[in-house]
């Protein structure tokens, strides 16, 4: 049965305009007022959801018409609408960027678009950008525009005057470093790395409260109401007993933090018991049947990892017992013999895979891809600033998402004994049976 709920997609003309700050501010503002808020992130992203979850007080999942699938998007939105007073979807890159784009998602589910524009270096052109975003695709519903990083109240008046439709003005956020969410090479710094994370969100919410957008009441939000129906096509079925009785140790700390909440849900739904550990702080793995090393920032913690010889020995013992290991991106980097930093410093890693990972100044790979493994095809993406050199031959390689091309071939999948490793980040729900087999002994072939 369809259910109606206010929902908005927060987009921009490009990355770096302030989408995440505004999405967090809006979520925090309404959560403080006692409303149940659910936030989603459009496209593959591990870092923005940390902040969005902190702001909303609820888990944040991804929506992507290709990677997660249209039926999966429909199911998650419908389930959220059953529980929430407001659904917020943060877009990815620019509104029309990507295949599929945030605009495609908004159009498919009837979401109105709120455009955030960094107006710090413009005046009348602000109106042209807003007009273009609103009318570039005629079938797209538009909620209005918010000016970000505005210099002064006078500047805000100039921006507002530049709009052809004054009703589209949702206000201005003044330039304020206190509202900025800090970034580094892979995206936002995680919320728990900052002692003032919630204070930053509250400051952003307070600033938004002074705008027409921030002053919307529960009745006003009904202007954004959308009817969400359950999926009209089946989603990938979860084999409920596929991982029954299996304990999976999941690395989770500042060095290994690229985890989709939905991937954890998927493993638990198939019967797995998840136990978490820190390769930085713990000296041994917890008792487990399989090991998952997700991506993250091993390069920022290489010295600590190199000094933790107890964890290195424990992981080696796990592998020697023939227990499965699935390592993604940063997790794979840690399995090599060494990690070479940008300054040329060399740090010994865990020595499970022969070779080295070397940090690069520029992005080495980015984009949606899919990987055929035992049990099916996993969809996902790649995003990394390092390259690896190894004598291992790739057992297979990722393929480009439909409509995309790959330069220099896809990401390698390396297989050595019970270990499988790749730069590829998998979305487990795209093929639960394939995901389950990554963690089952004697199921790697």
Query: Quick one: tokens of 240?
Result: 């409920």
Residue 330 and residue 297 in contact, taking contact as beta carbons nearer than 8 Å: yes
Report the catalytic residues: 329
Residue 57 and residue 88 in contact, taking contact as beta carbons nearer than 8 Å: no
- Hey, is 277 helix, strand or coil? strand
Pairing of strands 142-150, 112-118: parallel
Distance from C-alpha of 61 to C-alpha of 39, rounded to nearest angstrom: 8
> What residues contact 419, with CB distance under 8 A and at least 6 apart?
319, 324, 325, 327, 335, 352, 353
Nearest to 371 by CA among 325, 335, 328: 328
What totals of helices (H) and strands (E) does the chain contain, helices first? 13, 27
Residues 166, 167, 170, 172, Cα dihedral to 10°? 10
- Helical (H) or strand (E) element with 159: helix 153-161
Nearest to 180 by CA among 149, 224, 136: 149
Strands, E, within 91-239: which ranges? 112-118, 142-150, 169-174, 183-184, 187-188, 225-228
Supply the DSSP symbol for 148. E
First to last CA, the chain: 42
Beta bridge partners of 114: 10, 144
| Number of other residues whose CB lies within 10 A of the CB of residue 353 | 25
């Amino acid at each position: 049965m369809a259910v109606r709920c206010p929902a908005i997609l927060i987009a921009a003309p490009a990355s770096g305009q302030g989408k995440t700050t505004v999405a967090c501010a809006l979520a925090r503002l309404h959560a403080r007022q006692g409303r149940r808020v659910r936030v989603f992130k459009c496209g593959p992203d591990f870092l923005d959801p940390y902040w969005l979850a902190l702001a909303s007080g609820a888990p944040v999942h991804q929506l992507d018409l290709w990677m997660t699938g249209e039926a999966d998007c429909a199911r998650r939105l419908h389930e959220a609408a059953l529980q929430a007073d407001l659904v917020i979807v943060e877009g990815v890159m620019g509104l029309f960027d990507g295949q599929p784009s945030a605009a495609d998602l908004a159009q498919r589910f009837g979401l109105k678009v709120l455009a955030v524009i960094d107006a710090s270096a413009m005046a009348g052109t602000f109106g042209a950008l807003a007009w273009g975003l609103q009318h570039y695709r005629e079938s797209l519903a538009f909620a209005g525009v918010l000016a970000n990083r505005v210099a002064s109240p006078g500047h805000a008046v100039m921006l507002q005057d530049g709009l052809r439709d004054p009703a589209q003005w949702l206000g201005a956020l003044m330039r304020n470093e206190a509202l900025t969410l800090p970034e580094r090479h892979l995206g936002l710094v995680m919320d728990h790395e900052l002692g003032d994370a919630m204070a930053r969100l509250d400051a952003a919410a307070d600033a938004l409260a002074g705008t027409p957008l921030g002053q919307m009441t529960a009745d006003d939000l009904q202007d954004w109401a959308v009817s969400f129906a359950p999926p009209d096509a089946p989603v990938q079925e979860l084999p409920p007993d596929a991982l029954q009785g299996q304990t999976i140790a999941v690395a989770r700390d500042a060095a290994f933090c690229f985890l989709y909440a939905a991937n954890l849900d998927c493993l638990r739904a198939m019967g797995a018991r998840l136990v978490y550990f820190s390769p930085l702080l713990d000296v041994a793995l917890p008792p487990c049947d399989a090991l998952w090393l997700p991506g993250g920032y091993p390069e920022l913690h290489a010295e600590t990892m190199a000094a933790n010889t107890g964890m290195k020995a424990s992981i080696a013992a796990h592998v020697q017992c023939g227990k499965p290991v699935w390592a993604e991106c940063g997790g794979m980097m840690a399995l090599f013999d060494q990690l070479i930093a940008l300054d040329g410093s060399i740090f010994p890693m865990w020595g499970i895979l022969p070779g080295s990972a070397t940090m690069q100044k520029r992005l080495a790979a980015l984009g949606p891809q899919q990987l055929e493994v035992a049990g099916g095809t996993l969809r996902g993406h790649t995003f990394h600033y390092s390259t690896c050199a190894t004598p291992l031959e790739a057992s297979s390689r990722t393929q480009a998402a439909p409509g995309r091309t790959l330069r220099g071939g896809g990401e390698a999948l390396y297989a050595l004994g019970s270990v499988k490793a790749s730069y590829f980040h998998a979305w487990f729900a795209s093929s639960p049976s394939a995901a389950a087999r990554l963690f089952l002994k004697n199921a790697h072939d």
